[in-house]
Amino acid sequence: MTPSPWDRAKQSLSEELEAHLKLAIAERIANGEDPSHARAAALRELGNVPLVQDVTRERWGWSWLENLLHDARYALRQLRRSPAFTATALLTLAFGIGANLGVFQLLYAVILAQLPVPHPQELVRVHAARSPFDQGWQVSYPAYQRLRAATPDVPLMATAYVQNVSIELANHASIEASSRLVSGNYFSGLGVAPAAGRLFVLADERIGQDVWPVVLRYEFARNTFDSAQQAVGQHLLINGRAFLVIGVARRGFFGDITGFAPDTWMPLALQSTDAFAVPWDSLGPGHDVSLDKPWYNQPTIFWLELTARIPPQRRAAVLAHWDQAFRNDREVMTEATADPSAKAALLRVTTAAVPLSDNGMRKRFTAPLTLLMALSASIFLVGCLNLANLQLARLHARAHELSVRMALGASSGRLIRQIVLEDALLVAGGSVSALVLGRAASGILIRWASNRNGLFTLDLHPNLPLAALGAGLMLLSLLCFSILPVVFFIRSGVAQTAGSRAKVAGISQTARQRWRSNALLGAQVSLSLLLSTMSACFTATLVHWETVNVGMDREHVLIVHPDFHQPRYTKHADMLPELYSRIQQRLQALPGVRSAAVEMCGGIHCGWITALYAQGRSDLTDTQVHGQEDHVGLGFFSTVGIPFLRGRDFTSSDNDSTQRVAILSRSYARQLFGDADPIGQWVGYEPAPNDRKFLIVGEVADARVNGARREPPPMVYMSINQNPAPINSIRVRAVGDPSQLSESVRQALHQVDPALPVGEIVPLATELNGDLGTETLLARLAGIYSSLTLLLVGIGFYGVMSSRAVRRKAEFGIRLALGATRGHIHRLIVGQTARILLAGMLPGALLSIFAVRAASHVLYGSVTANSFAIVVASLVLASAGSLATFIPARRAAQADPLEALRIE
């Protein structure tokens, strides 16, 4: 190994001093002195050589570095000597800081981050009018054109949802990608620059192009084509249409909707190709709506969401302008309702500008994420308190060594520096793991929070606030568990009572120090009680929603997702009822299958909003008229387990040539007919005289078809055989565990129709629970936190009580010799734990009540019911604490009185 410059300089210095000595001796001898005498005199004159070297080296200005390296080596040695403490500290720090970073990353991406475009505060959503059925803010294409023409200088962008698309590349398997249709001014209006190629211009809005332009998201382009540059110019097939990648949006642009990042952006005009499924709303049947014709010239199909860039000072004027331009559309929209008050309310609405931050994602997650942030902060604090306590115990154990070193002249500053450096190394190590852990945690948290069918896509790149939080937590932890305890310890003078080990060990633990470690333990207990209570509440909430009666047989039903949206089915819809019947018969013949039925709905929360007008009841309001509609096959109700209350099910004689029939759910029947018997009544999609279209033949119980957490909607079920159309799901009711059937169901479907693509097959319970993202996130994370804090409290009690037991060994021995029983000693130690537990639980319980109150809107049940969780959490905590004390208490009670007396 070549010597470092530092070592060479040191070598050179000692040679220089040696030369000095030799020259001095030589001169003394030359002057006639005796050689041995000359050497001694020269040495005396030279003085303390190492000291001279030290002082000289200080002049080089690097000595602090040398000291630091020296201390660092010493610190590493110390850490290696206490592996248990090192491991506990590393894990606690990694988890405490990592959890905070992970949750903050999510909180930042969902709540705090703004769009990465210039002046994001100028961007607003334009809310002109709610669409008649879905109550969204979509408008028609002609309305969008009118608004854009009314204010040519204001960038007004239109976007539309589109179902996931399938992309085919040359020599590549097809990829499923998310997408969004956007107007030509979308990117220029937002102010997004391309990473490569170009973004949309107005000419891209042209209808009927042979090769359509598409813009890719940066990460998607990089994952698919290796780089943004390589993606540009690629030819693709999307849903069977020819596309050319014209550009890639800048890195970090995830679209304008928090949580949903489209992989591709395509022009609005693509709607006219009919190759893409775009959600829409309209005035309902009976109005001039042709869905299969292009939508760009139809003022009664509402499908575009509007976003605009307006400087705040111009906002009022622009909105007033748009109100004028939109008046006619609003009047058209009133045709959808027969309710005069609803018509008036619709006309009273004025166009509004809503900040982009005012989105559903933020509304849904602000409370849970803030809560989680608070819980993460608590776990961090518990960790720090625990480490501070361990640190104090460790310092006590080292008191003898430290006192000897101080007596030998080590400055207290240097001692403090050495110990703090030791902990700084721990913090640094812990933080590196925390970064990795936090990164992974955000990914896992997103998965937990997401709905089963749609993973959130959020920008999780490290950012400045995250780095600041990380550095802040590092410093805070260092201050809490290292600097403060060490300074207290050295200042308290314990280490200065140099001398006998017995003295240090026996007397030095003053009441104040005991009080300090008790207070630390008590604070830990308080925070742990809080975390355990919250965890119990969140778990109870999750369990409630996972087991609530949904009005269906959630444990035995399998949902199969076939894809009937292919020309061979859609072009021959009249053949479908026969195919459905064959599928049903084949599936019902499978062993283990009780029944099977087809359904238009694909899963939960999919029935479309409809309006039913009851014959002879012209006084119904809009809220009474509106409900949700689904088309089902024969045997649907018995398959999913929705019981009949009155009337009959659909039969095979309800077909295209017989009277149209409908079945109402209990709540819809009550809305339309009150307590009267709905069987035999007439309803229609339009008010009189068109309100005599469907005959009500049955009434079924309410079911939570929109997910366990949502109230059962008013439902009307129609027969799929009277309205032949592609279905989106097949329900199979099993005798036992439904997931066991998936493979045989898939094979049976293949036998019936080999050309039918079959997608996912999931149990109904999974589908229902997939909607419980927020609850799952809270319950799982709080669960992890509370078990960790229980562990930490256990470690804390064990550590403190065993070091006390060791310190008081002699005392216990004497007590035993004087007639105390082992039970007394045992009770003494356990009594201490009990007092600390009690003292910590009281403030902890208060804290928990506040937290339960603050979190009541994400919890199921009343505050009082949830407060009961405090009792449960206290019991768990008390048993954890007692268990941890049990071993040290037993050990103390085993003290040998003879040995104790001998030591004395």
Partner 1 sequence: MAATTKYKNRIEILQGTLDMLILQAIERQPMHGYAIAQRIRSRSGEVLTVETGFLYPALHRLERQKWVKSQWKLTESKQRAKFYQLTALGKRQLTADHQRWLELVRAIGSVMQPEVQP
DSSP E strands, 14-87 = none
d(CA 812, CA 91): 35
Three-class SS state of 654 = coil
Q: How far is the CB of 69 from partner 1 (least distance, A)?
A: 20
Structure tokens at 382: 């518990």
Q: How far is the CB of 844 from partner 1 (least distance, A)?
A: 52
Q: How far is the CB of 25 from partner 1 (least distance, A)?
A: 10
In the bound state with partner 1, the residue whose beta carbon lies nearer, of 65 and 87, is 65
Chain centroid to CA 213: 35
**Residue closest to 498 by CA, chosen among 393, 395, 402:** 402
CB crowding 731-748: b at 16 or more within 10 Å, else e? bbbbeeebeebbeebeeb
In the bound state with partner 1, the residue whose beta carbon lies nearer, of 49 and 345, is 49
Q: How far is the CB of 7 from partner 1 (least distance, A)?
A: 16
In the bound state with partner 1, the residue whose beta carbon lies nearer, of 15 and 401, is 15
d(CA 216, CA 229): 11
In the bound state with partner 1, the residue whose beta carbon lies nearer, of 42 and 117, is 42
Q: How far is the CB of 62 from partner 1 (least distance, A)?
A: 11
In the bound state with partner 1, the residue whose beta carbon lies nearer, of 59 and 512, is 59
Structure tokens at 246: 């014209």
Contacts of residue 120, defined as CB under 8 A and 6 or more positions apart, other chains included, come to 114, 356
CB crowding 836-874: b at 16 or more within 10 Å, else e? bbebbbebbbebbbebbeebeebbbbeeeebbbbbeebb
Sign of CA dihedral 55, 57, 61, 67: negative
- Report phi then psi at 479, rounded to 5: -65, -45
In the bound state with partner 1, the residue whose beta carbon lies nearer, of 10 and 198, is 10
Structure tokens at 84: 């248990």
Residue 569 CA: distances (Å) to CA of 238, 643, 726: 21, 32, 7
Q: Which helix or strand (DSSP H or E) is residue 597 part of? A: strand 593-599
Q: How far is the CB of 101 from partner 1 (least distance, A)?
A: 44
In the bound state with partner 1, the residue whose beta carbon lies nearer, of 45 and 737, is 45
In the bound state with partner 1, the residue whose beta carbon lies nearer, of 53 and 370, is 53
| Residue in the structure block whose two tokens are 């909003």 | 609
In the bound state with partner 1, the residue whose beta carbon lies nearer, of 16 and 711, is 16
Q: How far is the CB of 51 from partner 1 (least distance, A)?
A: 6
**Residue closest to 162 by CA, chosen among 135, 187, 180:** 180
Structural contact between residues 289 and 282, judged by C-beta atoms closer than 8 angstroms: yes
Q: How far is the CB of 403 from partner 1 (least distance, A)?
A: 24
d(CA 100, CA 477): 13
In the bound state with partner 1, the residue whose beta carbon lies nearer, of 38 and 801, is 38
Q: How far is the CB of 486 from partner 1 (least distance, A)?
A: 25
In the bound state with partner 1, the residue whose beta carbon lies nearer, of 25 and 268, is 25
Structural contact between residues 456 and 259, judged by C-beta atoms closer than 8 angstroms: yes
Three-class SS state of 263 = coil
d(CA 731, CA 584): 10
Q: How far is the CB of 79 from partner 1 (least distance, A)?
A: 31
Binding site residues, partner 1, CB under 8 A: 12-13, 15-17, 19-20, 22-24, 26-27, 45-48, 51-52, 55-56, 58-61
Q: How far is the CB of 9 from partner 1 (least distance, A)?
A: 9
**Cβ neighbours around 201 below 10 Å, total:** 13
In the bound state with partner 1, the residue whose beta carbon lies nearer, of 56 and 229, is 56
In the bound state with partner 1, the residue whose beta carbon lies nearer, of 28 and 180, is 28
Q: Which helix or strand (DSSP H or E) is residue 254 part of? A: none
In the bound state with partner 1, the residue whose beta carbon lies nearer, of 52 and 487, is 52
Q: How far is the CB of 16 from partner 1 (least distance, A)?
A: 5
Amino acid symbol at 175: I
**Residue closest to 343 by CA, chosen among 672, 713, 622, 669:** 622
| 813, HSE (Cβ side, Cα atoms, 13 Å) | 15
d(CA 218, CA 224): 10
Three-class SS state of 167 = strand
Q: How far is the CB of 496 from partner 1 (least distance, A)?
A: 23
Specify burial of residue 758 (Cβ count, 10 A radius: 0-12, 13-18, 19+): middle
Q: How far is the CB of 491 from partner 1 (least distance, A)?
A: 24
